[in-house]
């Protein structure tokens, strides 16, 4: 069995602090149900305290008093993961909602065990016009240590500076550059702000149509670089 850790990027904006906190608690409750034995790393931005966290989960919190920004927060999660000896990371945003069963959740881990050097991004549940995977590609994904180490999140993908959907680009980079290491899981999905049951929009969503166009252009460039060579 590979040594796995769950990595969560969290930000509690002041104007929706309690709602965001409750969303994270909902996710942690699901993780307690499905994978209570897995340790958790949280990149915690703008938290007042950690006292609300459940005591019966193995959680390590890295606190940042001010928002890091989307890309920087993901970079910090990567860095903290690489400081450990874990072999695979399963990522979530703090407002993710898991849709699976206990049986399928255990099958998920077994498939990850069978692919210790591989990567997986969820697909087949919701259509994303920007690519082959489900939207919010860094929710429910599993990536091995050596691939995380080999591929940092690049500054030119910063969504807040350059209008790029960094998660879309990151997932497709792996897909085109390391196709022999990709694997799939089944019966496991993540939803977020777009689920009608949870109408409060995600902290992370960017709706500018120009971001879609810029992301498409970058994807085409990556595809030509790695797939069409």
Residue 196: pLDDT band (50, 70, 90) is very low
117 touches 144 (CB < 8 A): yes
- The domain that contains 221 carries what CATH number? 3.90.550.10
**How far does CA 188 lie from the centroid of its chain?**
14
Q: Is the pTM of this model over 0.85?
A: yes
Domain that holds residue 94: 4-226
Map residue 45 onto helix, strand or coil: strand
* Tokens linked to 148: 């995380």
- What is the predicted pLDDT for the residue at 130? 73
Query: In degrees rounded to 5, what are phi and psi of residue 74?
Result: -70, -35
- What is the predicted pLDDT for the residue at 193? 54
* Count of domains forming the chain: 1
Candidate ranges 158-167, 173-182, 208-217; pick with highest mean pLDDT: 173-182
User: What is the share, in percent, of the chain residues with pLDDT greater than 90?
Assistant: 70
User: For residues 179 and 158, what is the distance between their CA atoms, to the nearest angstrom?
Assistant: 25
């Amino acid at each position: 069995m590979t040594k796995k850790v769950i990595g969560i990027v969290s930000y509690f904006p002041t104007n929706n602090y309690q709602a965001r906190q409750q969303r994270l608690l909902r996710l942690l409750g699901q993780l307690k149900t499905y994978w209570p034995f897995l340790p958790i790393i949280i990149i915690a931005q703008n938290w007042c305290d950690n006292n609300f966290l459940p005591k019966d989960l193995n959680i390590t919190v890295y606190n940042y008093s001010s928002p890091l920004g989307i890309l920087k927060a993901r970079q910090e999660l990567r860095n903290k993961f690489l400081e450990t000896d874990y072999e695979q990371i399963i990522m979530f945003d703090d407002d993710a909602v898991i849709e699976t069963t206990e049986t399928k959740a255990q099958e998920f881990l077994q498939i990850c065990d069978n692919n210790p050097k591989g990567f997986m991004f969820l697909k087949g549940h919701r259509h994303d016009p920007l690519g082959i995977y489900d939207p919010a590609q860094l929710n429910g994904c599993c990536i091995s240590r050596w691939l995380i180490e080999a591929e940092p999140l690049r500054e030119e993908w910063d969504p807040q500076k350059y209008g790029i959907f960094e998660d879309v680009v990151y997932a497709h980079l792996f897909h085109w550059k390391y196709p022999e290491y990709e694997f799939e899981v089944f019966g496991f999905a993540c939803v977020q702000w777009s689920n009608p049951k949870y109408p409060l929009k995600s902290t992370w969503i960017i709706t500018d149509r120009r971001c879609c166009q810029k992301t498409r252009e970058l994807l085409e460039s990556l595809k030509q670089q790695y797939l069409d060579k």
